[in-house]
Structure 1
Amino acid sequence: MAWRSCAVLLRLTGEDVLRSSARGGRWPHTFQQKCGFRKIAKKPESKKVEEEPGHTESSEAALHRRPPTPHVEQRAPPGAPRDFGRLLRPLVFTVGFTGCAFGSAAIWQYESLKSRVQSYFDEIRADWLEKLRPQKRGDFRKELNQWWNGLSEGQKTVTGIIAANAVVFCCWRVPSLQRSMIKYFTSNPASKTLCSPMLLSTFSHFSFFHLAANMYVLWSFSSSAVSMLGREQFVAVYLSAGVVSTFFSYACKTVTGRFGPSLGASGAIMTVLAAVCTKMPEARLAIIFLPMFTFTAANALKAIVAMDTAGVVLGWRFFDHAAHLGGALFGIWYIMFGHELIWKNREPFVKLWHDLRTGGGGGGPGGGGDTGGAV
């Protein structure tokens, strides 16, 4: 089915570019963390295919003939009990994964600082050797290196994330992978597989427009976000945001009884958007096609949160507003409290890692102060 969305780009006037999407007063797939699927009712004699969106035939051949069609909804039977106990495992996974993400980011920063001096000398030697080599015009590798070196630190950081999303999108096009993609790369609180899809679905897009819009926004925000947080902290926040926003979606679906598969990176992107707007509330935003109308980042964030809150309360079903709202609230919380609570208290963990690595020694390079980018 066609994806009803129209990109409207926002930018920080005189600064980095912030982009979002809207149509008819609603935010389309650019900021849609989850795109619901609906199961069409099957005949009684048909064999059930678990979590298969838009599928009216039960045979495997039919599955291969037509990939799943996203965007519908699956309701629980009237009066069916809500199994809130099923949220326990996702909650534990969310807390545990977030802790592991920030712990890994702290170790990554430590190792980066430790190797910085060696890298400096390696670059000097590489530059010296490059001068000795004969120069070739039109050398593709050289042009690629020049392009890479021209990117900002933020753009380099999100290149891997964009590549991962592109690979998953291509996997959706392979008929033999459809069942695995639905099982592991769409999140659904009614599914037997609850935890791993909370992360994997963050890298999953069925529609090319959904993928392109989300990655375009991520690319645009990357310079501002990474300059604020540093690349290690940014990656930890981004991955944690995907899982946190999915848990919000799980909780909302369980409360309302509206189950169904979801996918997309928009919850994590909403966290990045909310973090930038919270940190720079007075920054001026403008719709790129209407540059004469500007508004503050704080007002834009308030409008987004208000809209998604209304979507959750009123039961709007075109988007997964709970995932949007969860991502935005996580971004606001992290800038206001989480950075101090989590990242600035990483010194004991880094010191423990340093002692394990060196067999017990002094403080490591990441042990003192807040390095590698700070809010």
Structure 2
Amino acid sequence: MAWRCWARAWDPRAHRLTVLLEQRQGFRRVRPRSEEPQAPAGSAEARPAPPPPRRSLCPPPPARGGRPSPRRLVKPLLFAVGFTGTAFGAAAIWQYEALKSRVQSYFEEARADWLDKIRPQKRGNFRKQVNSWWNNLTEGQRTVTGIIAANVFIFCLWRLPGMRRIMFTYFTSDPSSKALCSPMLLSTFSHFSLFHMAANMYVLWSFSSSVVSLLGCEQFIAVYLSAGVISTFVSYVAKMATGKFEPSLGASGAIMTVLAAVCTKMPEAKLAIIFLPMFTFTAGNALKAIIAFDTAGLALGWRFFDHAAHLGGALFGMWYVTYGHELIWKNREPLVKAWHEMRTRNTGKGGGRSN
């Protein structure tokens, strides 16, 4: 079902709207109108009239300086490494606390008086409907609900004219911008086009059950956030190498990690195009096609999509489910043990009962 949504976005009839799995690179600098008189047609300084600007779903960004130094990549590299380590460390502690809370809740419910269980709860019809809807969701769908809410909130901020400069500075990624590190994360939740956001969030929602059942809630959040930062850093490197500095935004790099992880772990899963359900293909072949397309786009200099961010996200997803899970997540025991000892020590000093 998720692949059908992806394939629909790739339909050539989608015109120039952003496609699914696309790290938006649709901002274009608007050339200022020259106030100088034009040179005669026969002079050496005569220039042909520039082509009409390409229509974009995004507004033009503010003017920025010249080509930055490659040394500006050092700080984003350190941020990517530090943030990834922090994300996985926090996820390990989160998993420990969640498990401890579940165990305590189980024993508290077992000791609760039976009258409290049968006591009618005062709830309105709307609250009952919301609780019923929430309880019917899978664990993966409940996990990505917060991510989708954050994307919708930031999308609404783009609609406020007074926030436009702040949004360009901190919610679009560009190595020539004055803000380098925070946009690596914030741009992952940023969409200017409604279709762009809706398509990406639908794919994330569709693949959420598979990837969360594969990684677990806490590990998935760490992988998703780290993928956004790492894919943006790969985009920085590509822009520095090519000299094409254009702001990018969107969750496509992180979503590519999710797709690559699922397709790598389940390469024989059958997928289909939304309009052609009779034609099926494997997830492994679909992943190869995506990587081939983005590789060609990066090599040929296609500028409408941020192909470097796509490739960075896809390669990170493939690497993580193949090697990273063993190297990172399964070695979290020392951190969790140290956290448990610290919690036990603090509980004992407070006069409470140690666990």
* TM-score between the two structures when normalised by the length of structure 2: 0.84
Whether 2:12 is the aligned partner of 1:24: answer: yes
Whether 2:236 is the aligned partner of 1:250: answer: yes
Whether 2:27 is the aligned partner of 1:40: answer: no
Q: CA deviation at 1:41?
A: 1.3
| Contact 1:184-1:193 at 8 Å conserved across structures | yes
Which among 148, 173, 184 is matched to residue 170 of structure 2? Answer: 184
More strand by share: 1
Which among 159, 164, 168 is matched to residue 173 of structure 1? Answer: 159
- Hey, which bits of structure 1, 4+ residues long, moved more than 6 A? 17-20, 71-77
1:122/1:18 CA distance change after superposition, 3 Å: farther
1:137-286 aligned within 5 A: 139-286=125-272
In 1, Cα distance between the equivalents of 2:59 and 2:251? 15
In 1, Cα distance between the equivalents of 2:159 and 2:251? 18
| Contact 1:9-1:21 at 8 Å conserved across structures | no
Deviation string 1:78-137 (CA, Å, 9 cap, x unpaired) is xx866211111110000000000000000000101111122224566599646321677x
In 1, Cα distance between the equivalents of 2:209 and 2:216? 10
Q: CA deviation at 1:32?
A: 0.8
Which is worse superposed, 107-116 or 25-34? 25-34
In 1, Cα distance between the equivalents of 2:150 and 2:121? 36
Cross-structure match for 1:84: 70
SS in 1 for 2:88: helix
| Identity level (%) | 64
| Contact 1:226-1:234 at 8 Å conserved across structures | yes
Deviation string 1:257-300 (CA, Å, 9 cap, x unpaired) is 00011100010000000000000001111112211101111000
1:272/1:134 CA distance change after superposition, 3 Å: closer
Deviation string 1:51-102 (CA, Å, 9 cap, x unpaired) is xxxxxxxxxxxxxxxxx9527799999xx86621111111000000000000
In 1, Cα distance between the equivalents of 2:297 and 2:113? 55
In 2, Cα distance between the equivalents of 1:313 and 1:169? 31
| Contact 1:76-1:259 at 8 Å conserved across structures | no
Cross-structure match for 1:10: 3
In 2, Cα distance between the equivalents of 1:322 and 1:23? 22
Which is worse superposed, 123-132 or 278-287? 123-132
1:127/1:338 CA distance change after superposition, 3 Å: farther
SS in 2 for 1:115: helix
Name the amino acid aligned to 1:23.
D
Cross-structure match for 1:119: 105
Q: CA deviation at 1:227?
A: 0.2
Which among 82, 88, 93 is matched to residue 96 of structure 1? Answer: 82
Residue ranges of structure 2 left out of the alignment (5+ in a row) = 36-55, 348-355
In 2, Cα distance between the equivalents of 1:126 and 1:43? 77
In 2, Cα distance between the equivalents of 1:315 and 1:107? 43
In 1, Cα distance between the equivalents of 2:13 and 2:335? 46
Q: CA RMSD in A?
A: 2.9
In 1, Cα distance between the equivalents of 2:130 and 2:323? 40
Matched residues, number: 324
Name the amino acid aligned to 1:263.
L
Name the amino acid aligned to 1:166.
V
In 1, Cα distance between the equivalents of 2:101 and 2:72? 44
SS in 1 for 2:20: helix
In 1, Cα distance between the equivalents of 2:86 and 2:290? 30
Q: CA deviation at 1:222?
A: 0.3
Q: CA deviation at 1:23?
A: 3.2
In 1, Cα distance between the equivalents of 2:302 and 2:62? 14
Which among 334, 352, 363 is matched to residue 320 of structure 2? Answer: 334
Deviation string 1:221-275 (CA, Å, 9 cap, x unpaired) is 0000000000000000000000011001111011000001110001000000000
Q: Is the radius of gyration larger for structure 1 or structure 2? A: 2
* TM-score between the two structures when normalised by the length of structure 1: 0.80
In 2, Cα distance between the equivalents of 1:243 and 1:195? 9
